[in-house]
């Protein structure tokens, strides 16, 4: 299987042989033996190259995930116990607005743990070991993971006090700031939804993002609102400090329920001491507000 995986990765017996320090004929023999065992071809032998059959592609995908999981497990065993390295993955806005301002507090509370932060809007595979612990938004129903609700999330219209906005009826006078949501979001905080829940008519021409400012990252949308460029639907959790300081205000409701943030880790890992310490610290920070 290792010979097949290398040949499939390179689409070459020659390059697979170099990777595994054997001869190309040894690779070919191993692949042929595997095909005979499975009773179906895994490669199409073309002139000077290989191509995977549909069965070969399926097996390659499964083997690659399996080998990655094995390598991640071995890496965890080889990692010096004293380092207690924990990789936390979350989306870019939560990383920038919630985790980073608390890093000094984390180092003080957990001096023996090195916390590595992975920020991105693409979910990583916790079961494969790509990260140790995650903060995700959603419903917490992720096969293969243990999850716990961290805190509910709500979005509301926020803006700089310099706009002087106080009444819903004055909203059409101001520019709307839009932010992209992931396609799989179950309850995105969009202006079209806000107008429905506010039970007021959406101003004509305001449904398209071209009618206002649009950002792919919520942090940039918040910066635009802070600069007085318009009104944005922002997370009350991630904008908590700006609301406390008065840099942003919530002139009116309603606030939109977008689900909750959850802590998650792979099955069987929740009781690892370093993961448990990071988990408990994040829960304590969320409870403190």
- The residues, any chain, with a CB within 8 Å of residue 76's CB and separated by 6 or more, are 129
Tokens 């097996």 appear where?
59
Q: Are residues 164 and 247 in the same domain?
A: yes
The answer, yes or no, to whether residue 142 has pLDDT greater than 60, is: yes
**What is the pLDDT at residue 137?**
86
User: pLDDT of 200-220, one tens digit each?
Assistant: 888 765 544 445 788 888 889
DSSP output for 79-139: S-TTT-EEEEEE-HHHIIIIIGGGHHHHHHH-TT-EEEEEE-SSPP-TTTTS-SEEEEEE-
Q: What is the mean pLDDT of residues 94-116?
A: 91
CATH of residue 17: 1.10.10.10
**What is the pLDDT at residue 84?**
83
Q: Among 11-15, 158-162, 206-210, whose mean pLDDT is lowest? A: 206-210
Q: Are residues 65 and 136 in the same domain?
A: no
Choose one of 50, 78, 106: the last residue of a domain: 78
Q: Are residues 140 and 273 in the same domain?
A: yes
Domain that holds residue 24: 2-78
Q: Are residues 71 and 128 in the same domain?
A: no
% of the chain with per-residue pLDDT over 70: 92
Query: Which tokens hold the place of 182?
Result: 């992931």
Q: Are residues 173 and 207 in the same domain?
A: yes
CA-nearest of 181, 158, 182 to 237 is 158
Q: Are residues 281 and 139 in the same domain?
A: yes
- The residues, any chain, with a CB within 8 Å of residue 67's CB and separated by 6 or more, are 2, 5
Distance, in Å, from the CA atom of 93 to the CA atom of 99, rounded to the nearest integer, reads 9
Query: Which tokens hold the place of 154?
Result: 């709500």
12 or 48, which is more confident? 12
Choose one of 29, 44, 78: the last residue of a domain: 78
Q: Are residues 148 and 159 in the same domain?
A: no
Q: Are residues 244 and 223 in the same domain?
A: yes
In 3-state terms, the chain is what percent helix, strand and coil (to 5)? 45, 20, 35
The answer, yes or no, to whether residue 237 has pLDDT greater than 60, is: yes
Q: Are residues 132 and 165 in the same domain?
A: no
How large is the angle between the packed helices 54-78 and 2-10, nearest 10 degrees?
Answer: 110
Query: Which tokens hold the place of 281?
Result: 């610290």
CATH of residue 167: 3.40.190.10
∠ CA 103-244-258 to the nearest 5 degrees?
75
Are the C-beta atoms of 2 and 20 separated by less than 8 Å? yes
The total number of structural domains that make up the chain: 3
Greatest mean pLDDT among 45-59, 181-195, 198-212, 226-240: 226-240
The answer, yes or no, to whether residue 83 has pLDDT greater than 70, is: no
Residue 261 belongs to what H/E stretch?
strand 256-266
Q: Are residues 189 and 253 in the same domain?
A: yes
Sheet containing 133-138: give its strands across. 114-119, 85-90, 133-138, 256-266, 145-158, 231-235, 176-179, 213-215
The answer, yes or no, to whether residue 150 has pLDDT greater than 70, is: yes
Pairing of strands 176-179, 213-215: parallel
| Phi, psi torsion values for 143, nearest 5 degrees | -55, 135
Q: What is the mean pLDDT of residues 223-241?
A: 94
Q: Among 63-77, 163-177, 239-253, 259-273, whose mean pLDDT is lowest? A: 63-77
210 or 105, which is more confident? 105
Choose one of 78, 94, 109: the last residue of a domain: 78
pLDDT classification of 108: cutoffs 50, 70, 90: very high
Q: Are residues 210 and 70 in the same domain?
A: no
Query: What's the chain's average pLDDT?
Result: 87
- The residues, any chain, with a CB within 8 Å of residue 130's CB and separated by 6 or more, are 72, 87, 89, 124
Greatest mean pLDDT among 23-32, 124-133, 215-224, 229-238: 229-238
% of the chain with per-residue pLDDT over 90: 48
**What is the pLDDT at residue 77?**
66
Distance, in Å, from the CA atom of 263 to the CA atom of 269, rounded to the nearest integer, reads 13
**What is the pLDDT at residue 75?**
67
pLDDT classification of 175: cutoffs 50, 70, 90: very high
Q: Are residues 227 and 268 in the same domain?
A: no
Distance, in Å, from the CA atom of 59 to the CA atom of 239, rounded to the nearest integer, reads 47
């Amino acid at each position: 299987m290792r010979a097949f995986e290398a040949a499939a990765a390179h689409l070459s017996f020659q390059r697979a042989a170099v990777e595994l320090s054997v001869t190309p004929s040894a690779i070919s023999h191993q692949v042929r033996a595997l095909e005979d065992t499975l009773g179906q071809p895994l490669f199409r032998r073309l002139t000077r190259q290989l191509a995977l059959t549909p069965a070969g592609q399926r097996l390659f995908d499964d083997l690659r995930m399996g080998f990655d999981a094995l390598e991640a497990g071995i890496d965890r065993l080889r990692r010096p116990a004293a380092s207690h390295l924990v990789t936390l993955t979350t989306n870019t806005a939560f990383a920038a607005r919630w985790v980073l301002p608390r890093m000094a507090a984390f180092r003080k509370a957990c001096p023996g743990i090195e916390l590595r932060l992975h920020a991105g809007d693409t979910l990583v595979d916790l079961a494969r070991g790509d990260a140790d612990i995650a903060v995700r938004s959603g419903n917490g129903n992720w096969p293969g993971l243990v999850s716990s609700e961290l805190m509910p999330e709500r979005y509301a219209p926020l803006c700089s006090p310099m706009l002087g906005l106080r009444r819903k009826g004055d909203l059409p006078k101001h520019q709307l700031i839009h932010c992209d949501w992931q396609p799989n979001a179950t309850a995105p905080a969009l202006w079209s939804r806000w107008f429905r829940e506010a039970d007021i008519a959406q101003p004509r021409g305001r449904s398209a993002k071209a009618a206002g400012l649009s950002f792919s990252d919520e942090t940039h949308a918040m910066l635009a609102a802070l600069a007085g460029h318009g009104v944005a639907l922002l997370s009350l959790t991630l904008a908590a400090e700006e609301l406390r300081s008065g840099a942003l205000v919530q002139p009116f409701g309603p606030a939109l329920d977008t689900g909750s943030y959850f802590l998650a880790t792979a099955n069987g890992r929740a009781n690892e001491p370093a993961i448990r310490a990071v988990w408990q610290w994040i829960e304590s920070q969320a409870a403190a507000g």
